[in-house]
Amino acid sequence: MESKHKLGLIGKNISYSFSKNYFEQKFKKKNLTEYSYEIFDIQEIEEIERIFSDTNIFGLNVTIPYKEKVIQYLDELSDEAEKIGAVNCIAIVDGKRKGYNTDAFGFEKTLAAHQKSHHQSALILGDGGAAKAVQYVLNKRQIPFKTISRKSELNFDNIDAHIVSEHTLIIHCTPVGTFPNVEDCVRFPFEALTKQHLVIDLIYNPECTQFLIKAAENGAKTVNGLYMLEQQAEKAWEIWSFQKK
């Protein structure tokens, strides 16, 4: 029997995703037998129109690489999603599609749990949708930061030990090192890390990326992306539940 209330995840090469199991467990606990969660692994963003044509879908998560591209298909954005310029959660009510960003909520919860008083300036590695949510949170908390990407002035080829020593909060927002490519790692002067550094990797699969392993070997405190993922998922559920009432 086809489910009356559908949720799902839109992304590319996302068979490893945590979301399906997470929400299916939630349905079980709450005895929501008419709910289902599907993985929509699409090669091009245009395929989203086919997904939206299913009138039983009332909510979607969005992951790499569509957090920015999906915006053009939406009718409305929450304040955060508009300011961030990236969407990872969609609620569909009466055919209207509204985009939210719950990554910011999840990252802020993670940061609040681990940040110490000496973590006063940050390096953000990457410039995609997740990095934009991190930038939003750092701005909100008045933490100055520099962004490092392949194309930025400060990039993976010229980042040096001096810059790393000056920024005690490092947030890795690129997909490099995600399952199944677990041996991959961005170029980074790990030797400049100390026990004063907090290194957060937004990847959750594997639990310990090469980036975190190398950071820990140099004394840094390390945190992966699982808590952020759980928190953003809970926030998404709150949004969808509110819309369903």
Domain boundaries, the chain: 5-101, 104-227
Type of residue found at 91: A
Pick among 1.10.150.120, 3.40.50.720, 3.40.50.300, 2.160.10.10: CATH of 104-227: 3.40.50.720
Cα dihedral across residues 119, 121, 126, 127: positive or negative: positive
Written as six digits, the tokens of 63 are: 């992951």
pLDDT tens track for 126-160:
999 999 999 999 999 999 999 999 989 999 999 99
What is the 3-state secondary structure of the chain? CCCCEEEEEEECCCCCCCHHHHHHHHHHHCCCCCEEEEEEECCCHHHHHHHHCCCCEEEEEECCCCCCHHHHHCCEECHHHHHHCCCCEEEEECCEEEEECCHHHHHHHHHHHHCCCCCCCEEEECCCHHHHHHHHHHHHCCCCEEEEECCCCCECCCCCHHHHHHCCEEEECCCCCCCCCCCCCCCCCHHHCCCCCEEEECCCCCCCCHHHHHHHHCCCEEECCHHHHHHHHHHHHHHHHHHHC
How far CA 216 is from CA of 68, 97, 111, 210, 228, in Å, comes to 32, 42, 18, 10, 20
Position 99 scores a pLDDT of: 98
pLDDT tens track for 36-49:
999 999 999 999 99
Position 2 scores a pLDDT of: 67
* CB burial string 155-177: b at 16+ within 10 A, e below: ebeebeeeebeebbbbbbbbbbb
Which pLDDT tens digits describe the chain residue by residue (245 residues)? 567 899 999 999 887 778 999 999 999 999 999 999 999 999 999 999 999 999 999 999 999 899 999 999 999 999 999 999 999 999 999 999 999 999 999 999 999 999 999 999 999 999 999 999 999 999 999 999 999 999 899 999 999 999 999 999 999 999 999 999 999 999 999 999 999 999 999 999 999 999 999 999 999 999 999 999 999 999 999 999 866 54
69: annotated active-site residue: no
Q: Residue 178, Cβ neighbours under 10 Å: how many?
A: 21
- Please identify which of the residues 6, 67, 98, 235 carries the catalytic annotation: 67
Per CATH, the homologous superfamily of domain 5-101 is: Leucine Dehydrogenase, chain A, domain 1 (3.40.50.10860)
Query: Cα separation of 212 and 185, whole Å?
Result: 10
